[in-house]
Amino acid sequence: MTALLRGRVVLIVAVVLIIQQALMDALKVRGAHPDLMLLLPIAFGLVGGSERGAAMGFVSGLLADLFVGTPFGLSALVYTLVGFGVGMTGGDRLGGGWWVTPLTATLASAAGVVLYAGLGAAVGEGQMLHAHLATVTIVVAVVNGLLAAPTARLARWAMNLGRPSGAWYTPVRSESR
């Protein structure tokens, strides 16, 4: 990855972090707010494959952990797994309909929230399992589903992948959209 592309990735992470902290945390639906930091690894996993999804998950998860009181490192672990899992499905790169990206993001977000609460309970934070988990899951999944397509496009721009291609090892050098 060239310095320019690395800069783009850092820029996207920074912008999403600011939007999350300054806007999304205030946007409460029945006490739950969206989680864009979880959308980052999903988008990067969809567009760039499992390895990039996992790496982005680790970074965005650690950043998210800085601002919350839940066990430190838990978001990093969960987001890594989600990014990797999404990358394994290969959704976006297989072509498919326009609905593949939003649907994958919705399902992966829901799975991520449930996994987060479940692992939280496993490390001694049992209250995470019943604290309006259903509401949180729905809010995060729906918002991430809606924002999945533009975020995936941003991820493609950051990694300079022009359009969905069959194999992510194939160096795609076409211009970003």
Contacting residues toward another protein, per CB under 8 A? 18, 20-23, 25-26, 28, 31-33, 35, 49-51, 54-55, 57-58, 61-62, 64, 66-74, 76-77, 80-81, 84, 87, 113, 116-117, 120, 123-125, 127-128, 131-132, 136, 139-140, 169
Are the CB atoms for 22 and 36 separated by under 8 Å?
no
CB nearer to another protein: pick between 115 and 149: 115
For the CB of residue 9, give the shortest distance to another protein in the complex, in Å: 16
Q: Is the Cα torsion angle 118, 130, 57, 104 positive or negative in sign?
A: positive
Torsion angle (degrees, nearest 10) of CA 152, 2, 164, 91: -60
58, 87 contact by CB (below 8 A): no
The DSSP code sequence of 130-159 is TSSHHHHHHHHHHHHHHHHHHHHHHHHHHT
74 or 108: CB nearest another protein? 74
Q: How far apart are CA 3 and CA 141, in angstroms?
A: 33
In angstroms, give the least distance from the CB of 132 to another protein.
6
Quote the least distance from Cβ 98 to another protein, whole Å: 26
Min. distance of Cβ 154 from another protein in angstroms? 19
Give the residue with the Cβ less far from another protein, 1 or 18.
18
We find the least distance from the C-beta atom of residue 99 to another protein, in angstroms, to be 26
DSSP string, 22-71: IIITT--BTTB---HHHHHHHHHHHHH-HHHHHHHHHHHHHHHHTT--SP
Nearest to another protein of 71, 176 (CB atom): 71
Looking at the Cβ atoms of 51 and 160, the one nearer to another protein is 51
